[in-house]
Structure formats: C-alpha cells, structure tokens
Amino acid sequence: MDYVDFRSDTVTRPTQAMMAAIAAAEVGDAARGDDPTVNELERRAAELVGKQAAVFVPSGTMGNLVAVLSHVSPGEEIILESAAHMYNSEGGAVSGLAGAVVRPVTAPSGVLDPDDIAAVIKGEGKDNVARTRLICVENTHNAAGGTVTPLATMGRLHGLAAGAGVVIHLDGARLFNAAVHLDSSAADICRHADTVMFCVSKGLGAPVGSLLAGDDAFILRARRKVRMVGGGMRQAGIVAAAGLVALGDPYAQARSDHCTAGVLAAGLAAIDASLVVPQNVQTNIVNCRLDAFPELVPHFAVRLKERGVLVLQSGSVARFVTHRHIDEGAVERGLAAVADTLQRT
C-alpha cells in the first residue's frame, strides 16, 4: 500500500539537490579535521546559531549525550522537563552513560516555568546533595506537541541559571521550527543557551546528522567526548553535503510545514472538536486527543494504517507530524481516514 506517513519528520528522504551535493561532495578524514565539507557544515551551523564553533555528530541523541558528558560529572544533577526527549527517549543515556542525576520538572505545555526551576536548583554548599550543573530546555518540545518556549522565558531561565553557576543546554532538534513560530532567528533563541544541539535529519530533510554548538572551549571538550562515544566519522562529507543544502534556507520548509499542520488541525477539529484545539498547534506537530473515544484508543493507529495512514500513538494521543512529503492531498487522505475511523466506532 502507498502510505501517507505522519509518524515523524525523520521519515523525510533527501531532495534532488541533496543527492546532487552528495555525489559532488569533497571529502576527507573528518575525525582528523580533514573533511572540507564537514568543516564547512560546522562553520555554517555555528554561524546560524550565533556560537563560536560546532561539531557534526551522527544523531541528535549523540549530540545531547556529548553535551551532558561535556558539562556534567557523574553524580551531578541535570534538570529536565519530565516528558523531555532526553529523559524519556534516549535510552537513559544521561544517567546510564554520563552518570548524571536527573531531576524531572513537569510542565504539561512543554515550557519550563522559571519559578519551578528556581525552586529546585541546588548550588554549592552541603556536600550531601547532587549539585545542579545543567538545565536542558527542549524547544520545540516534541511530546507536548511541538510547543515553543518564548524568548522571554528562555531569557529568564538563562538569567537564573547564570546566577546559580548552572549551564543551559538547548535540545533544539527542531530549532528552526521554534524560530519560525517566534518570527525570530535560531541565533536569537540560542542567545539564551550556552550550548545547543539541532538536527538536519528531521524537517530539514537531510539523511543523517546533528550539530552541537557552543563556545570554542566547549567544542574542544565536546570533540573528545564525540571520539569517546564512537562518533568520530571518516568521509562524513558525504552526508554533511546534504546538511549544507538543508542549511541553505533552514526556515523555508518549517514555514510550509506549519501551514500544513494548521490545515490538518483545522480539519481534525471540524471532524470532532474534541480531537484538537487548532490554536494550540504552533509548529509541525499535531497531537490528536482521543479522550472522547475511549473505545478507539487501543486500535486508532491500526485502523488508520488499514486506511493507508501512519501515525504514532501513545495512549490516548495520536501524533501527526507534517513535513516535506505531506502535501494537500496527504492531509486530505489523513482527514478522510480519521473521519471514516470515527464513523465506524
């Protein structure tokens, strides 16, 4: 069957321009700093986020892990939102590999409340507590439905962290989606973070890779950790070339994906108002709530799949993500599948 795939923006396949860039890529041994295409991608990434330097890594998970390894010693604490990708979906790496003590703080909207954070930061002092070293902010927040942390909130978090000698790491897997929603730039957001990871392999459409950026001293430490976890790559210019195409205009696809998500959300709400509040959809993720259809919850994703539509379901929330391969026709197919599934319950 020919499926419409709403599961994630990670399913995007490289564009023709990316394939051409891959074929023409100049390469070298990236782990020795010899790959000109990787070097150019790292330079461009640092420029876009307004940091001194960046390092190219195979995945967002590795970028986040390397950030934690570079900022935190075993037994020190990191603060994370309790539905954060780094906490729930990266194999426990921050504890299992970096030895960090995790302090989850709940924010159902995905936007950390600076007052909640101020209440749990632990500074120097007693030697029986895990000292807080790092706050991780996820912007946009995946599980909360692609929600965006406003610049003012980022600023408050950064201010209170700096006052306590704590560092902010931004999990910006979908950083450019956040920037588009804020009508701002990636650099404006990253001004309020010490380090940032963003992915070229999601809505930006490149096949592989993420960039971790920060100041020169941080990136020097990070490069050692990348080698430690096996992320040192050789002729990685092959994939970096596609990343460079993605970073030509990293905002354009996000703008289009957000419009598509808006149409999808409005269509779902027209089928049944309980499914989604369109005004709450900020970027390219639409969380469709099935609370009004408990009998459907165990089967919803399966029923949609039978109708050629793939979504990711977790409990009573079905996630629809818009991306390069989701056009008007795909949205129509998705909506028709949902309407049909609801009608037959």
Ligand X SMILES: Cc1ncc(COP(=O)(O)O)c(C=O)c1O
The answer to whether residue 39 forms part of the interface with ligand X (CB under 6 A) is: no
Closest among 218, 55, 81 to 142, alpha carbons compared: 81
Residue whose C-beta lies closest to ligand X: 60
Q: Is residue 173 at the binding interface for ligand X, with CB under 6 A as the rule?
A: yes
Structure tokens at 151: 């610049």
Nearer to ligand X, 210 or 260 (CB): 210
Nearer residue to ligand X within complex by CB, 93 or 331: 93
The interface region with ligand X, picked from 55-63, 99-107, 151-159, 255-263 by CB under 6 A, is: 55-63
60 binds ligand X (CB under 6 A): yes
One-letter identity of residue 329:
G
Q: How far is the CB of 64 from ligand X (least distance, A)?
A: 6
**Which residue in this structure is represented by tokens 């319950």?**
345
How far apart are CB 173 and ligand X at their closest, in Å? 3
Tell me which stretch binds ligand X (CB under 6 A): 58-66, 110-118, 253-261, 310-318: 58-66
Give the count of residues interacting with ligand X (CB under 6 A). 13
Q: Does 81 bind ligand X (CB under 6 A)?
A: no
* Residue 260 found at the interface with ligand X (CB under 6 A): no
* 132 contacts ligand X (rule: CB under 6 A): no
CB distance 55 to 33 below 8 Å:
no
Query: Among 42, 171, 194, 257, which residue interacts with ligand X (rule: CB under 6 A)?
Result: 171
Which residues are at the interface with ligand X (CB under 6 A)?
Answer: 10, 59-61, 64, 85, 138, 142, 171, 173, 199, 201, 210
